[in-house]
């Protein structure tokens, strides 16, 4: 029997598409997305309570949603299907002319249509590539080819009523792994997404201003391509001296997975994959106490800082426009995750409503991350030390040029680290010789990478010791001078502010502002104050575009780091349900407008990780991963360190060896953590 939180199945996708096709008769349906619909929370809570404490499990039908177009035309339809009872509950056009998320098959079709279109072929012919070739010392003579990279169109006008695609054109050698981002071309066709109809040809600026040349000229020579693949790097040799570092668990892993339920070191939760967010966690408990109903990365926007057309429309919503599950990598042993690995799969729909399996999109494993806690009693030279074991839930999405590694990392003391690594290849633009700007970086001959930002929003539906939680923020202030208890003017204190209404909380790094969620109905017996968890977020620059820009109007959540709202079903995505070519934010700009009381309520936290990224040459042709994270940690939630039951470190358990003895695999090891004398 499927759990209400289990991922969508092949059968449910087929039921959904079949029912909708039958409803529309002979019409051709283009499915943008099919996935499981979240259960109504009040019903799911009853199910979870019965599951945990006993009782009859209530019946919760499995429901799906579908976004689709009829006969490749607007409007976009949204349908709700009861897959358990095999019936359509609702189906109607989405109001406001919303445009649905892009479909992997649809984008691939645009890519093919673009390079095959006569107007684009004529533009390519002007390059006279047949007269050029590259002699590779190992691979021999290689010809050049043109590659199309379709991008979501973005927004700059209320008049764009149909789905559009901006096709950026590049060139590389005729090898499947050639770095075409090293040679961006100066023409960029625009196509209609559904019909593949040619709209116009844009020409790209390549100097220091907005001017462009509306002509394509023959290439008499080609700048050297900055390659990243070992097969293409001339005379590539692997670096010497790197020896195996293996994660071995001879007795198996310390975690247990039953269906979608994971238990590890006091943690209990469910993990379910989906096409939009990649994965979500449900019913998160630690040491038997409730923490969160649902946790997920729900949106990311990537606005580019080059204001010249058409680059001014380069603003991706990687989850809402594309989907992290749709673009998830199939992860491999020994590459993406090390140790004993449990994988989960993702299922999506193709454009015709058939299920597509993407295997191994989520990996779960343990890792060592240094010391958890340590104290040495200097009086007797005795130490207690424990190793910090972590449990990682990871997915990796490739959205065109970029890869995003999303990790939720659990430790043995009740903390969660939200960690994102950005890697892949910079999105590039043509650059005239010796042209230097203050909004981009030259990363190779004839190629520049624009400054841009990554703003990722994580949604935490809180349940700290129950369903009524409160958001506060604590500032740390110097005490007033010359008080009776501060005669020497060294004192400082905590100032607590309650968030009573839905809305954002401003950053304040110079008061060490700390965001917290507390339960005013659950008092810590030691502190005599409400229990809580804190969100440790470093101060970061938020979205840089003008408040009057489409970039900000569409991504209001990116203006602030931390938001609190009251829970409502179907409020899952910070920028709203439909982001592709959106005109304005339909998420937090509405839900966090101060109109609702969020104190001692069913509270949702929206936390934004922000990275302003001015590229550097060391990040080309492929980026070492950029690293950003925040912590969600107990703040007097427990009455003492909850990790005191973690076994002390012991080398009979950990099996480390001395450097001098490392050539002898059978060397003896001491049993406890004592220095070698």
What is the per-residue pLDDT across 105-157, written as a single tens digit (0 to 9) for each?
A: 999 999 999 999 999 999 999 999 999 999 999 999 999 999 999 999 999 99
Distances (CA, A) of 204 to 166, 216, 432: 12, 11, 11
Q: Answer yes or no: are the C-beta atoms of 610 and 542 closer than 8 Å.
A: yes
DSSP annotation of 671? S
Calculate helix-pair angle for 104-116, 118-125, nearest 10 degrees: 60
Question: 């990365």: which residue's tokens?
Answer: 297
Measured between alpha carbons, how far is 526 from 638 in angstroms, rounded to an integer? 9
The residues, ordered by sequence, that sit 6+ positions from 220 with a Cβ below 8 Å of its Cβ are: none
Per residue, what are the HEC states of 212-278? CCCCCCCCCCCCCCCCCCCCCCCCCCCCCCCCCCCCCCCCCCCCEEECCEEEECCEEEEEEEECCCE
Superfamily of structural domain 259-366+392-425+452-466+525-613+622-640: Copper amine oxidase, catalytic domain (2.70.98.20)
Question: 């208890």: which residue's tokens?
Answer: 485
What pLDDT was estimated at residue 667?
46
In this prediction, residues 488-515 reach a mean pLDDT of 98
Per residue, what are the HEC states of 331-391? CCECCCECCCCEEEEEEEECCCCCEEEEEEEEEEEEEEEEEEEEEEECCCCEEEEEEEEEE
Residue 579: Cβ within 10 Å count: 30
The residues, ordered by sequence, that sit 6+ positions from 406 with a Cβ below 8 Å of its Cβ are: 278, 297, 324, 394, 395, 396, 397, 419, 420
Per residue, what are the HEC states of 574-602? CCCCCCCCCCCCCCHHHHCCCCCECCCEC
What pLDDT was estimated at residue 666?
46
* CA angle, residues 426, 427, 431, in degrees to nearest 5: 105
DSSP annotation of 39? P
The residues, ordered by sequence, that sit 6+ positions from 115 with a Cβ below 8 Å of its Cβ are: 121, 124, 146, 147, 148
Measured between alpha carbons, how far is 404 from 389 in angstroms, rounded to an integer? 24
Q: Answer yes or no: are the C-beta atoms of 383 and 374 closer than 8 Å.
A: yes
Q: Which CATH class is domain 104-203?
A: alpha beta
Structure tokens at 629: 């994270």
Please return the burial class of 236, using the count of CB atoms within 10 Å of its CB with bins 0-12, 13-18 and 19+.
Answer: exposed
Distances (CA, A) of 490 to 80, 485, 511: 62, 10, 16
Measured between alpha carbons, how far is 669 from 664 in angstroms, rounded to an integer? 11
Question: 């990279």: which residue's tokens?
Answer: 149
Q: Which pLDDT band holds residue 677 (cuts at 50, 70, 90)?
A: very low
Measured between alpha carbons, how far is 180 from 170 in angstroms, rounded to an integer? 6
Q: Is 207 helix (H, G, I), strand (E, B) or coil?
A: coil
Measured between alpha carbons, how far is 630 from 610 in angstroms, rounded to an integer? 10
What pLDDT was estimated at residue 287?
98
Residue 435, pLDDT > 70, answer: yes
The residues assigned a catalytic role are 318, 402
Q: Is 559 helix (H, G, I), strand (E, B) or coil?
A: helix
Structure tokens at 356: 């597509």
Residue 213: Cβ within 10 Å count: 13
Question: What b/e readout covers 76-110, taking b as 16+ CB neighbours within 10 angstroms?
Answer: bbbbebbbeeeeeeebeebeebbbbbbbbbbbebb
Q: Which pLDDT band holds residue 431 (cuts at 50, 70, 90)?
A: very high
Residue 480, pLDDT > 90, answer: yes
Q: Which CATH class is domain 10-93?
A: alpha beta
The residues, ordered by sequence, that sit 6+ positions from 569 with a Cβ below 8 Å of its Cβ are: 38, 40, 41
Partners of 165 in the β-ladder: 152, 191
> Beta strands 623-634 and 289-303: pairing type?
unpaired
Residue 665: Cβ within 10 Å count: 7
In this prediction, residues 417-437 reach a mean pLDDT of 97
Question: 């299920």: which residue's tokens?
Answer: 355
What pLDDT was estimated at residue 1?
86
Residue 669, pLDDT > 90, answer: no
* CA angle, residues 340, 344, 345, in degrees to nearest 5: 140
What is the per-residue pLDDT across 308-355, written as a single tens digit (0 to 9) for each?
A: 999 999 999 999 999 999 999 999 999 999 999 999 999 999 999 999
Pick from 439, 467, 521, 355: nearest CA to 18: 355
Domain range annotation of the chain: 10-93, 104-203, 259-366+392-425+452-466+525-613+622-640
Pick from 510, 322, 478: nearest CA to 398: 322
49 Rama sector, left if φ>0, alpha if ψ -120 to 50, beta otherwise: alpha
Q: Which pLDDT band holds residue 662 (cuts at 50, 70, 90)?
A: confident
Partners of 377 in the β-ladder: 382
Cis omega (within 30 of 0) on the bond before 621?
A: yes
Do 10-93 and 104-203 come out as alike in CATH topology? yes
What is the per-residue pLDDT across 360-398, written as a single tens digit (0 to 9) for each?
A: 999 999 999 999 999 999 999 999 999 999 999 999 999
Residue 664, pLDDT > 70, answer: no
What pLDDT was estimated at residue 661?
83
What is the per-residue pLDDT across 215-250, written as a single tens digit (0 to 9) for each?
A: 999 999 999 999 999 999 999 999 999 999 999 999
What is the per-residue pLDDT across 37-62, written as a single tens digit (0 to 9) for each?
A: 999 999 999 999 999 999 999 999 99
Please state, rounded to an integer, the average pLDDT across all residues of the chain. 96
Q: Answer yes or no: are the C-beta atoms of 78 and 95 closer than 8 Å.
A: no
Structure tokens at 601: 């309520």
What pLDDT was estimated at residue 665?
57
């Amino acid at each position: 029997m499927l759990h209400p939180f289990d991922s969508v199945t092949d059968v449910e996708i087929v039921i959904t598409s079949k029912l909708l096709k039958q409803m529309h008769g002979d019409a051709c349906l283009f499915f943008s997305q099919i996935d499981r619909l979240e259960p109504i929370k009040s019903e799911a809570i009853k199910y979870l309570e019965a599951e945990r404490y006993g009782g009859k499990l209530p019946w919760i039908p499995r429901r799906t949603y579908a976004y689709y177009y009829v006969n490749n035309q607007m409007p976009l339809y949204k349908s709700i299907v009861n897959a358990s009872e095999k019936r359509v509950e609702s189906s109607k056009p989405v109001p406001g002319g919303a445009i649905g998320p892009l479909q992997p098959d649809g984008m691939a079709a645009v890519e093919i249509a673009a390079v095959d279109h006569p107007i684009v072929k004529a533009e390519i012919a002007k390059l006279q590539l047949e007269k050029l070739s590259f002699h590779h010392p190992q691979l021999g003579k290689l010809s050049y080819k043109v590659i199309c990279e379709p991008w979501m169109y973005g927004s700059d006008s209320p008049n764009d009523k149909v789905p559009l695609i901006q096709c950026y054109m590049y060139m590389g050698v005729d090898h499947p792994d050639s770095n075409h981002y090293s040679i961006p071309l100066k023409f960029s066709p625009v196509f209609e997404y559904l019909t593949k109809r040619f709209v116009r040809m844009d020409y790209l600026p390549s100097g220091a201003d907005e001017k462009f040349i509306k002509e394509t000229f023959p290439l008499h020579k080609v700048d050297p391509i900055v390659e990243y693949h070992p097969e293409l790097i001339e005379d590539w040799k692997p670096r010497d001296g790197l020896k195996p570092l293996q994660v071995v668990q001879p007795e198996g892993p310390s975690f247990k997975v039953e269906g979608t339920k994971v238990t590890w070191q006091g943690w209990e939760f469910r993990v379910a994959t989906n096409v939009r967010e990649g994965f979500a966690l449900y019913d998160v408990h630690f040491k038997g106490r409730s923490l969160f109903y649902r946790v997920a990365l729900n949106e990311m926007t990537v606005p580019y800082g080059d204001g010249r057309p058409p680059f001014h429309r380069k603003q991706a919503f990687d989850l809402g426009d594309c989907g992290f599950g749709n673009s998830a990598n199939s992860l491999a042993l020994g590459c993406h995750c090390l140790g004993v690995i449990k994988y989960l799969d993702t299922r999506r729909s193709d454009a015709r409503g058939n299920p597509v399996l993407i295997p191994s999109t989520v990996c779960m494993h343990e890792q060592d991350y240094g010391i958890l806690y340590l104290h040495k009693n200097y009086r007797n030279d005795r130490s207690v030390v424990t190793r910090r074991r972590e449990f990682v839930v990871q997915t990796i999405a490739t959205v065109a040029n970029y890869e995003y590694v999303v990790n939720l990392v659990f430790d043995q003391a009740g903390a969660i680290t939200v960690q994102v690594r950005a890697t892949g290849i910079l999105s590039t633009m043509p650059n005239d010789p010796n042209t230097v700007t203050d909004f981009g970086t030259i990363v190779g001959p004839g190629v520049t990478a624009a400054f841009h930002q990554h703003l990722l929003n994580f949604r935490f539906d809180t349940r700290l010791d129950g369903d009524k939680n409160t958001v506060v923020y604590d500032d740390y202030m110097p005490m007033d001078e010359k008080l009776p208890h501060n005669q020497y003017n060294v004192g400082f204190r905590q100032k607590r502010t309650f968030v009573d209404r839905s809305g954002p909380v401003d950053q304040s790094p110079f008061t060490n502002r700390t965001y917290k969620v507390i339960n005013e109905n659950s008092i810590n017996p030691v502190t005599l104050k409400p229990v809580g968890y804190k969100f440790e977020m470093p101060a970061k620059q938020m979205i840089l575009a003008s408040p009057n820009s489409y970039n900000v109007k569409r991504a209001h959540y990116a203006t602030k780091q931390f938001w609190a709202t009251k829970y409502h079903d179907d409020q899952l995505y910070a920028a709203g349900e439909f982001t592709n070519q959106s005109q304005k934010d339909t998420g937090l700009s509405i839900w966090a407008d101060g109109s609702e009381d969020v104190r001692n309520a069913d509270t949702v936290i929206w936390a934004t990780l922000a990275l302003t990224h001015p590229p550097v040459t060391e990040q080309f042709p492929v980026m070492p991963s950029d690293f950003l994270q925040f912590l969600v940690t107990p703040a007097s939630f427990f009455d003492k360190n909850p990790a005191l039951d973690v076994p002390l470190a012991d080398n009979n358990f950990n099996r480390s060896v001395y450097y001098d003895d490392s050539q002898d695999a059978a060397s003896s090891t001491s049993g406890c953590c004592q220095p070698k004398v």
